[in-house]
Structure 1
Amino acid sequence: MGKSSKAQNADWRDQVTNQKSLHFNVGTQGVGAEFAYGVLPKMSLRLGANIIPVSADNVFSVSGFNSNSRMSANFSNIHLLADFIPFKSAPGFRLVGGAGYFINAKGKIAVQPKDNYTYGDIVLNNEEVGNLNMNVNWRGFAPYAGIGLLKPFSNRTFNVNLDLGTYFLKQPDANITASGILSGNTSQSAQLQQNLKGYRFLPVVQLNFNFRIQ
């Protein structure tokens, strides 16, 4: 009788129905927060948002003159994900699916000359040389698929779990804007679009810090 009661109690603990938790996460898609709610014994939903603003200097150059460059990325999304526990014997393994809407999903490389440009006897100042910007935008809906490791909920107030997966972004819009003598590079916008059309995966490696809500 005691063993049966203990087994039933353990089985109840593995169920996620009506359990609630607040998640704070950090990973390749930046930082964010989620609210999780158990809708079925083995399935829960997560509603959340993430943001990632990153930038780096001097990662790109234009041959022929000294320049400063800046690469930046600005991503933010809201998402709804479902966690499903497929195996009773492994409650810490989850299949995760859903979708996100990327409010911002922009990448940019900006190039500016550092000094005058000399071509034979012709000397051009910074303004005459101009600036060059390569812009990419993935804004829109994106499906998500992945797996989760460790339980989505815990009997304790605090627990940690891990998400591994990817968003499949819409085909990006890409273009080149420029001024001065660099303005001729704008004709390469179509080629840039072609080169980047396959860059649609946004990998997710995310650590979740979860706080159970009573």
Structure 2
Amino acid sequence: MKKLLTFMLLAFPVMLMAQEQPPAEASAYKAPISYQVTAGTQGIGGDFRYGFLNNLSARLGASFAVVNANADYSFSGFTSTSSQKVNFSNVHLLADLVPFKSMQGFRIVGGAGYLFKADGNVTVTPTGNYNFANYNLTGAEIGTLDMNVGWKGVAPYLGFGLFKAFPSNFFNFNLDLGTYYLTQPSTRIIGTNLLTDNSKLEPQFNENLKGYRWLPVLQLNFNFRIK
């Protein structure tokens, strides 16, 4: 009896430990984590990526794009300088789904981004000298015209990815191709001096641009595995 009691006392903790251990298949999956540096049409940025399942991962990140350009224009006796600026900055949460086990390098990507800065701006400044009703005016006296369009807000995203989401070892690269669907743009026209009345064109300007709501994304990701 003593031997049986001793055996039960020794075996009881082992039995408890065995019950607490998950099945071998359930404990085999180890969630990968990586960080990727991104570059493409939505600028440069970075994402943290977490693998929930073998075929499902999510990423949280941000990207920034600022483009400035200057140009000189001349038409019908009118010369001017113009400056253009595009500024797109967003934070996003995306999910990557591998729909086919046999195609690990193909992913469907969906989610949304919040564009806290999404503006396009053109400023036109006349140059040279002009004669209006026997008055000679310089470009500075005529004034400047500032045109702005913005898409700030939440934008759903849909696309697909090529190549594996996570590196097998330490590093890989993959591609994203897709599009954001932006909010309907808001527009603004501000003129100075003799160009002040051009602000009346704002409703037509808004009407002309209301269909510009797609932001294509072509992005290269440099992916570094953390875990």
TM-score by shorter chain over 0.5: yes
User: How many residues were matched structurally?
Assistant: 201
The worse-fitting range, judged by mean Cα deviation, of 62-71 and 154-163 is: 62-71
User: Which residue in 2 is equivalent to 1:39?
Assistant: 52
Q: CA deviation at 1:128?
A: 2.2
Measure the CA separation in 2 of the matches of 1:152 and 1:50.
18
Query: Structure 1 stretches (4+) deviating beyond 4 angstroms?
Result: 59-64
For the pair shown, the structure with the greater C-alpha radius of gyration is 2
Give the corresponding residue for 2:100: 87
- Deviation (angstroms), 1:60: 6.2
The share of aligned pairs that are identical, in percent, is: 50
Pairwise mapping of residues 31-70 of structure 1 onto structure 2 (< 5 A)?
Answer: 31-58=44-71, 64-70=77-83
1:1-214 alignment runs, 5 A limit: 18-58=31-71, 64-214=77-227
Go from structure 1 to structure 2 and tell me whether the alpha carbon gap of 1:55 and 1:49 turns closer, same or farther (over 3 Å shift): same
Is contact 1:136-1:174 (8 Å) kept? yes
Give the structure-2-normalised TM-score.
Answer: 0.84
Deviation, 1:117, is: 2.1
Contact 1:17/1:42 (<8 A) preserved? no
* Per-residue deviation, residues 83-110 of structure 1 (Å, max 9, x unmatched): 0000000010000000000010000010
Gaps of 5+ in 1: 1-11
Q: In 2 relative to 1, CA 28–194 (structure 1 residues): closer, same or farther, beyond 3 Å?
A: same
Is the CA contact 1:16–1:43 (under 8 Å) kept in the aligned structure 2?
Answer: no
Query: Which blocks of at least 5 consecutive residues in structure 2 are unaligned?
Result: 1-24
Deviation at 1:115, TM superposition (A): 2.3
- CA shift, 1:211, in A, is 0.2
Cα distance in 1 for partners of 2:76, 2:29 equals: 58
Cα offset, 1:126, TM superposition: 3.0
SS of the residue aligned with 2:78?
coil
Counterpart in the other structure of 1:4: none
Q: Check 1:49–1:60 CA distance in 2 against 1; reply closer, same or farther (3 A cut).
A: farther
Deviation larger for 113-122 or 96-105: 113-122
The answer (yes or no) to whether the contact 2:36–2:46 under 8 Å persists in 1 is yes
Q: Aligned to 1:127, what secondary structure does the other structure show?
A: helix
Going from structure 1 to structure 2, the CA distance change for 1:16 and 1:24 (only over 3 Å counts) comes to farther
RMSD of aligned C-alpha atoms?
A: 1.9
Paired with 2:123 and 2:76, the residues of 1 have a C-alpha distance of 15
Residues 125 and 140, structure 2, Cα contact 8 Å, conserved in 1: no
What CA distance in whole angstroms lies between the structure 2 residues aligned with 1:16 and 1:146? 27
Which secondary structure state, in structure 2, belongs to the residue aligned with residue 66 of structure 1? strand
Counterpart of 1:124 in structure 2: which amino acid? L
Pair 120,137 (structure 1): closer, same or farther in 2 beyond 3 Å: same
